[in-house]
Amino acid sequence: MDAVGLIMADSEEAAARGAAVDRSERPSGYRWVIVLAVVILAVAFGVYGLPPEWGKIASLGILAAFAIAGMIAMFFWAMGIVHLSLASNARNDLTKLISDDSPEGILVTNKDGRIIYANQAYLTLTGAVGEEDMRTVERAFTGDPDVSEATYRLAQAGREGKRLTEEFRIASMPPTGTASWYRVRVRPIERPSGQAETVWTVADITRERERQENVFQELQHAIDYLDHAPAGFFSADPSGEIVYLNATLAGWLDYDLAQFGTGGLTLADIAPGNAGPLMVTQASEPGSVRTEIFDIDLRRRNGTIMPVRLFHKIAYAADGQPGPSRTLVIYRGPGGDVSEGLRAAEVRFARFFNNSPLAIATVDENARIVRNNAAFLRLFKDSLNGEAAGHSLFETVAERDRDGLNKLTRQAMAGRGDIDPAEASLVGQGSRSARFWFAPVDGGENEKEAAIVYVIDTTEQRALQEQFTQSQKMHAVGQLAGGVAHDFNNVLGAIMLAADFLIGSHKPGDPAFQDIMSIKSNANRAANLVRQLLAFSRRQTLRPQVLNLNDAVSDLSMLLRRLLGEKVTLDVVHGRDLWPVKVDVNQFEQVVMNLTVNARDAMPDGGKVIIRTRNVPISEASALDRSDLPPADYVAVEVEDNGSGIPPAILDKIFEPFFTTKDVGKGTGLGLSTVYGIVKQTGGSILVHSVEGKGTIFQIFLPRLVETAKAAHEEPEVAPGQPHAAAVAAKKEITDLTGRGRILLVEDEEALRALSARTLVARGFEVIEAGSGIEALQALEEADNDIDLVVSDVVMPEMDGPTLLKELRKRNSQTRIIFVSGYAEEAFAKNMPEGEEFAFLPKPFSMKQLVEAVKSNMGP
């Protein structure tokens, strides 16, 4: 049993060195002792009741059995099968030794809060003198208000069986009385028997905190040194947002460093637009580091510039993406450093080069870009992918323009001075174009530079030139069409009146009657063509009225289906809550029919036509960015087909008069030009989108009508010949075409005047003829102003119709007047005195229309 005693002594020494308090439960072996005592007593009483001779034998047997059991136990102990030690020593295994010797204080409490274990480190950290002075964590660290909340949270977590860690500072902690930092952890444990206990761990982290504070102080000193260094410094992320700015640079730029902490400052705020793109770096080789030097101007907060030199460093991550920049800024203004071999003139040139709005680059003898400014990089951002150096200049332009650019490059490399500029289309930028100038390099420091290239974006200039040219051409054609239409109307008017006279003198059975009807029919057809010419020139007569386009399209859909035939289907999509517009319903129907018929002709094998109506708010109209579509609210009508489409080569010509792709005899070339003229005269715009082989979409944008409730009522249709200002509400059917009164007929076209006078005389009117405005005034004086009605042409030599009316009013004449013209009423109404009343009769007119207009305006 000496070995057992030695083990017990070692355990007692370890317990004395480690655990200060150990009140944990002992193993429940006392039950076996009681059982063994009861067995021995039962055996003793049993032996006592035996006869003497059997008692001796039984006693010897019992003793022999105990001896054998003891020998077997000692054998098992020697083999290590059974451990013979005190119950307290049995618990001093490796785990307990670690807990006892831990530098951190360890405390174990049961569910009632009673301490069942605490190591010596816990007593030392809590300032306990002995076991009697030992307290729980909650009691040991009370008294300091800053700590009470933390200990309460820890105790609450312990009671609820949760884990929690708290760190706190105690200003005076025994036994030293100095300030200390502590980290306290609490966690629940559960024994195999199911008994729940709580483990507290207390560590003194004062030295750790002191090391952290020392590191923080050193970092603060480093930041202070950097902030007040004689050079500026900033860092920007790849998106251009500045994440750090030192005090020196903030002072140069007149920014408050305290306000900068809120963020929001970007490269665009401190660098002009031409310099910013130089510092925004694209992806590069993974793990690489790139340093560049820029001489640019930075912008102060008040808008003034500050010349600087930037040392711009970028480190790239493993995926090739750039990280935040490290940029050193050296001031280059008056009194600044211009050493390092950089002369003041060179600094000025570098500033001008990088800040120029003109795209500038230098190329080597192979036309590869050596150096470029920010404007050059921005202009060719799509074709160069953010990196210009090393790329060929010819990569930036379309292939068809490269030969011409190559010739100019060679001329510059040969030293020629006067080199004409060249226009070229840019690659990867749609229809963008630019103008290139070349100049030779003379004595440059960089021997690789062979020529200088200056580039200006001419996309907008070319677009404006093309629009102006097209506008001038369309205006000239419109002027010609309008003039021709006016003269044709005079001729057609005479033909139609003569035909009416012939029809009146010939019966249907007369052999010449059919010929006369053919003359009138063709005259009407010619008049329709003239109206189309006037529509293109925007000089036709329109009768606008407030209209809901959904209603107009619905009324027209039945006719359109008959026009399309069986092979082509029509789908009408009505927009919801459509805004009202003010248009001539007849002309609008003509526009939709023309576009629908063109769609049908583009689908000879059948297809589908879709007509849509929808509202287009000002935001959508502005997003289209069209010069011919001012920002406003519109109502759109779209006519879409899935036919053959329009080739790009002729897309710009489709609205020109007499241009057609149809076979001879199948089109006049006036359909789309008429559509264009009607839409423009209404105040709208028309756009076309077409993909050859897939289909075409025509989009008509009509201005939204915004009127007061009183003005929003639909205007009544005014028949030809009714007073303009009087605006008679409805046209009355006139059955009696005879009348009386004296009429002054003013017309410079002799044939038309004669036939018109003959028509009116035949109906009972007295007619005084005049070939011009001067003759009309003379005839009026001769008649002593005794005239009931004046019927006058508008366009006449010497004196036009509006001037004649003004002269009549000067003579205090209240005579009513009817203006007759081949142009639209609006073409001359703006020249009339405000509030003047007149009636209008468009040319060409029939005999009946002339008489009706005269009778409607003769008055009582």
Q: Which residues of 628-641 are buried (b: 16+ CB within 10 A; e: fewer)?
A: ebeeebbbbbbbbb
CA atoms within 13 Å, Cβ hemisphere of 460: 5
Of 72-76, 533-537, 703-707, 805-809, the one with minimum mean pLDDT is 533-537
**Mean pLDDT for the stretch of residues 11-16:** 42
Task: Give the pTM.
Answer: 0.37
- Of these ranges, 243-257, 267-281, 645-659, 661-675, the one predicted with the greatest mean pLDDT is 243-257
DSSP string, 817-859: EEEEESS-THHHHTTSPTT---EEEESS--HHHHHHHHHHHS-
Cα–Cα distance between 227 and 257 in angstroms, integer? 10
Give residue 108's region: left, alpha or beta (phi > 0; psi -120 to 50): beta
Mean pLDDT of 671-685: 78
- Mean pLDDT (the chain) is 75
Please, are residues 400 and 419 in contact by the beta-carbon 8 Å criterion? no
> Mean pLDDT, to the nearest integer, of 505-509?
75
pLDDT, greater one: 315 or 610: 610
The answer to whether the CB of 406 falls within 8 A of the CB of 394 is yes
Classify 722 in phi/psi space as left (phi over 0), alpha (psi -120 to 50) or beta: beta
For the four alpha carbons of 518, 560, 634 and 713, in that order, the dihedral sign comes to positive
Is the pLDDT higher at 588 or at 542?
588
Q: What is the average pLDDT across 488-499?
A: 77
Cα–Cα distance for residue pair 852/732, rounded to 1 Å:
10
What are φ and ψ of residue 14, in 5° steps?
A: -65, -40
**Residue given tokens 């211009």 in the structure block:** 338
pLDDT recorded at residue 639: 92
Task: Please enumerate in sequence order all residues whose Cβ is within 8 A of that of 708, keeping only pairs 6 or more positions apart, or say none.
Answer: none
Is the pLDDT at 182 greater than 70, yes or no?
yes
89-120, pLDDT tens digit by residue?
A: 444 567 777 777 788 888 888 887 788 888 88
Strands 232-236 and 242-245: antiparallel
317-367, pLDDT tens digit by residue?
Answer: 877 778 888 888 877 665 555 455 445 556 666 666 777 778 888 888 888
Question: pLDDT digits over 438-473, tens only?
Answer: 887 764 455 677 888 888 888 878 877 776 776 666
Tell which wins on pLDDT, 293 or 88: 293
| C-alpha to C-alpha distances, 132 to 16, 106, 799, nearest whole angstrom | 16, 17, 130
Residues 16-50 pLDDT 10s: 445 566 666 544 455 666 777 777 777 777 777 77
Q: For the chain, give me the number of helices (H) and strands (E)?
A: 28, 28
Name beta bridge partners: 483.
Answer: none
pLDDT (tens digit per residue) in 555-578: 888 878 888 888 889 999 999 889
Q: What 3-state class would DSSP assign to 417?
A: coil
Nearest to 850 by CA among 767, 729, 726, 727: 767
- Chain center to CA of 35: 90
pLDDT of residue 509 exceeding 50, the answer is yes
